[in-house]
Copies of this chain bind each other. A is one copy, B any other.
Amino acid sequence: MNETVIKKMQEILGEAWVVTDLEKVKSYCDDQTEKAMKPEICTDCVVVKPSKTEEISKIMKYANENKLTVIARGGGTSLSGAAIAIMPGIIISMERMNNIIEVDETSMTVECEAGVTLLQLVELFNKHDTLYFPIHPGDEGAQVGGLVVMNAGGVRAVRYGVMRDQIKEMEMVLASGEVVRLGKNLIKNNAGLDLKNLIVGSEGILGIVTKATLSIKPKDKHIGSLIVSFENESDAVKAVTEIFKTGIKPMAIEYMEKKAILKAAKDIGMTWPSSEGAVDLYFIVSERKEDDLYEMYEIIVGICEENNALNSFVAESSKDQRTLLDIRSHVYPSMHDEVVDAIDAAIPMKNLSKYMDSITKISEKYNVHISTIGHIGDGNLHNSILTEGAVKPDNYDEIADEIFALVMECGGSITGEHGIGKIRNKKMNLQFSETELRLMKEIKKIFDPNNILNPGTAL
């Protein structure tokens, strides 16, 4: 990286907060995207660690004037290459902007700097009697800024929606260095065009989020887990849609192939409660009153039985629930060494059964293992293409093309939660018309006329 740039960064931040050592820089250039899918990483970068918005503003002004590439980096937990550096540039690590500014119990919001981690929020609200932050996409190293610009999802979207639904207000630095505040801490706000929602899910290409005010929710006192096994996926899908029609909303409904969940359990030396059937549904139910919890179990199990459930198992003790969660959390790690591509399409509920059937057919046609695990309660399944050693098969492009064509045929989205990042850009024209893509690109130009922010991402 150019010495003049490094000097300027040191001038803005002080030497201590400008990292040029190659080994240290390397660890900031990569993220958690599957190896076989990763674009080539460029380590000719300088990592800077600002502690306040004004510093980021100065960095951006300089970078914009000099047309230098900038990536804002949170926890580096992206699965779509959104945080990977692919050309020389400045990587702004948000790690020092990690203050939780205010918990407002009246408006039920928490205001954070962008470098606050999900773990900090979890720990803060573990100590709180009645409130908590409802979004949990998985990796607790994720930072608020990343959660916002990637519109993080996770298992609890069934009840709470996604990150977008929690974001009240944000502060952001534009490519020009100008600072804007978008949104208000309100339920209703109809003034002006909605710039806030444009930033949510924009993957760091429109500006650098520096603060965000997020909804927090009342904690339910009573939580339980329920495992129900089925012979096949279409019965499981039918049960889920019937449950929604009753008006009840579990906190989460996860779908798992039996063989994947049994392998995960074995790998960590634990026992999964059901060995019957080919697929399981994993319900997390939470209610204000204990009686309601039992009623929920009854309704859910009743509907599942009407849809040919083989058995059901309730976990009530914290220990039993923890075991289920640990096994569930290990499903992805336990297959990780074989994952070529973790496709996370989202499918409208009415086409979910058709989609899953067709995935099975594609798997058979190409004689490749495609595992299906994921958030069935919100239509966001994760179909991972698996091979020994995660080596990309020769016909990978054909398989992926057929899966994404199916996603489009089912009215779905290329990505439900991982984002386009740097690995799905070429699929954008499947989902969007030329006109729609043109509108997006012109909006990008307004926010970032020199295309310095996270280039090669999202569009």
Interface of A with B (CB < 8 Å)? 104-108, 130, 150-151, 153, 157-158, 161-162, 164-165, 174, 178, 180-182, 184-195, 197-198, 200-202, 206, 217-220, 241, 244-248, 288, 346-350, 375, 378-380, 411-420, 424, 428, 431-433, 435-437, 439-440, 442-444, 446-447, 458-459
Contacts and interface: CB of A to CB of B under 8 A. Distances in A.
Contacts of A288: 247-248
A104 to B, nearest CB: 6
A63 to B, nearest CB: 18
A437 B244 CA distance: 42
A190 B416 contact: yes
A346 B188 contact: yes
Contacts of A412: 184, 186
B244 A178 contact: no
Given A106-B350, A246-B218, A202 B193 contact: yes
Contact of A189 (B165, B244, B416, B459): B416
A302 to B, nearest CB: 15
Contacts of A431: 191-192
B107 A192 contact: no
Contacts of A433: 180-181
Contacts of A350: 104, 106-107
A164 B161 CA distance: 13
A339 to B, nearest CB: 19
Contacts of A432: 191-192
Task: Please provide the 6 A-B residue pairs with the shortest distance between their CB atoms, ordered closest to farther.
Answer: A218-B247, A197-B197, A188-B416, A187-B378, A106-B350, A189-B413
Given A246-B218, A349-B107, A420 B198 contact: no
Contacts of A378: 186-188
Contact of A197 (B107, B130, B185, B194): B194
28 contacts: A107-B349, A150-B190, A164-B194, A165-B165, A184-B346, A185-B348, A186-B416, A187-B346, A187-B379, A188-B346, A188-B375, A188-B378, A189-B346, A190-B413, A190-B418, A190-B419, A191-B413, A191-B428, A192-B440, A192-B459, A193-B458, A194-B198, A194-B202, A195-B436, A195-B439, A197-B198, A198-B198, A442-B446
Nearest to A184: B413
B184 A411 contact: yes
Given A105-B245, A195-B436, A202-B193, A188 B379 contact: yes
Contact of A436 (B180, B220, B440, B458): B180
Given A218-B247, A439-B180, A193 B186 contact: no
Contact of A188 (B157, B189, B220, B411): B157
Contacts of A193: 198, 201-202, 206, 440, 443-444, 458-459
A280 to B, nearest CB: 21
Contacts of A130: 245, 247
A437 B195 CA distance: 10
A157 B187 CA distance: 8
Contacts of A184: 346, 348, 411-413
A96 B442 CA distance: 34
B420 A192 contact: yes
Nearest to A185: B348
A174 B434 CA distance: 13
Given A197-B197, A378-B188, A182 B436 contact: yes
A161 B188 CA distance: 8
Given A193-B444, A200-B194, A420-B192, A348 B245 contact: no
Contacts of A185: 348, 411
Given A130-B247, A178-B435, A348-B107, A420 B191 contact: yes
A437 to B, nearest CB: 8
Given A218-B247, A220-B247, A379 B186 contact: yes
A381 B157 CA distance: 30
A346 B168 CA distance: 13
Nearest to A206: B193
